[in-house]
Copies of this chain bind each other. A is one copy, B any other.
């Protein structure tokens, strides 16, 4: 591969000069929008360069870096200075939980980093801490998230002043470790189906919390098995009525329930707690199962921001219905998804860095009587890792955008923005975590036997990250929320309503879709055209619009005979594809913007390469769809495939620089096979040579 002549590669298998000429002529007839830079010509030359790009890593990482690198470095330095707080490869579950708790205490009380203070004030800073802490140990990241974002988040977002006054400091300084008790044995995704009840007793002015059957046992509750003193328990609020019914179900509400004695740490009466036991990963987090038998709590423990009960048992709320209140309650929990999407990208960065550094180091086979070549020189290895590296960059910019929008939303509470962030966080969380989960397996496999050594980290990264696909909303369920939102927007479009920020493109591309694909452009196959952001975005958006329009028609048709639930299920695969397609469009749009906004030319050229690879690889992955409607002709399909392979080769040439720009020091990546110097000898030393 090293001897390959890239010039020849570009002129591969079957040049079609006539088609190309026609296409260039057509370009003259239909000029294409160009980016706005003075150095446009220079960029054009760089990205079409047939030699390796010279990337200025400092400039690129400077551009990539968020605003909170300083606090991340503080986290890294603290843990680097405390080897006693590093998680060993072998540790029992119980020891791991104690270690994880000590890590969190150290972070907060010794290093003086106070994540809770940023949750509302500066969410971007909170997520930056979460990212850094998760890089130290993913269990620690989740333990921290349970304490501040979940347990703390319910106090901040669902409670009122009296709750904040009482609990803020204890949560902040870890004197009040707490839990978020929503999921039950029988109900995860369907939160409205939970069965735990909180019945108001007007005589004692208390709520009585009860687990009516084993299916209602609170399950997977983080912080519950060992450390938690409190839990925010989600339960159906039952109010006595003075009619024949006797009692009325007011829907799901959140209640603060003390679960352990503040002094003795004994489990309080009426509460049964069991350890959920070993998990696939995240064994530093103490998930427990909770069962309540007539546990009494004061009326004040209802988190009453969206609904309250008066001394005489009257219900008041600013929101008119159970469904509205439920939506408002769950809407406040969207920050968790933002954090997971963001952290998932950082896991992907670590894994891609390890896999790529090792693939550059590792040599195996080669031309006869010549030295062996690096395994990243193999086309198959490039195919496994280079679209992944490009995607990592794509997700980086998309999740930065999400954090930004989320921070804006927390300030403005603008209704449109709330809806937009809700859908975007659902979609990005689902898409990114699924992609990262798959990639972790690919990384392990692409590093062969040495990828299987626990010290090289793919096992624990995969095991710990795996559940990112499930918690804070099962990915399949979240994608359906995205699809539902798209359908809502689609309807509004035809009713003349406005489209929210992220979906705005649909208005335009829907019109394009409604006309037939252009038989001339469907044959264009030149590199300029295929690397034109307009072609790429159009293709992504065309696909989304087409999926949206066709599923809307199908849903309407099937609803008549099967009802809305039946019709939805009948179109479910279609809806999930639609949601993914939409998220891919958003990610691409943000990546293109990030390329265009990059001030340094060499960095911009590097990002442009990655962006083109991201775009063409995705188009090629779904080439059947494009071919089926003749959006691309066979010659163009072939050209897309060839260019995607060639871009993988080009990105490979700057792969080292692209991973260096993530700025992950060796004490964060930790895998001996990925050390930036002497990797093999660090690896042999790690086993005792």
Contact = CB atoms under 8 A, between A and B. Distances in A.
A363 B188 CA distance: 10
Contacts of A459: 279-281, 463, 466
A470 B445 contact: yes
A674 interface: no
Interface string A611-652: 000000000001110011100001001100000010000000
Q: How large is the interface on A (under 10, 10 to 19, 20 to 34, 35 or more residues)?
A: 35 or more
Interface in A631-689: 634, 637-638, 645, 680-681, 683-684, 686-689
A272 B689 contact: yes
A545 interface: no
Contact of A13 (B1, B193, B557): B557
A291 interface: yes
B448 A1 contact: no
Contacts of A8: 561-562
Contacts of A367: 563, 565-566
Given A183-B449, A217-B684, A628-B634, A90 B3 contact: no
Contact of A449 (B188, B190, B381, B434): B188
A242 interface: no
Contacts of A89: 277-278
Given A3-B566, A187-B364, A274 B454 contact: no
Interface stretch (A21-29, A233-241, A436-444): A436-444
A221 to B, nearest CB: 11
Nearest to A458: B280
Given A189-B365, A453-B279, A566-B1, A688 B274 contact: yes
A591 B154 CA distance: 55
Interface stretch (A31-39, A60-68, A494-502, A569-577): A569-577
A379 interface: yes
A201 interface: no
A372 interface: yes
Contacts of A412: none
15 contacts: A89-B277, A190-B372, A272-B689, A278-B453, A279-B459, A280-B452, A367-B563, A368-B565, A377-B569, A379-B571, A379-B572, A437-B441, A444-B466, A445-B466, A459-B466
Interface of A: 1, 3-5, 8-9, 13, 89-90, 92-93, 183, 185-190, 193, 214-215, 217, 219-220, 272, 274-281, 289, 291, 363-368, 372, 377-381, 383, 434, 437-438, 441, 444-445, 448-449, 451-455, 458-459, 463, 466-467, 469-471, 474-476, 554, 557, 561-563, 565-566, 569-573, 576, 622-624, 627-629, 634, 637-638, 645, 680-681, 683-684, 686-689
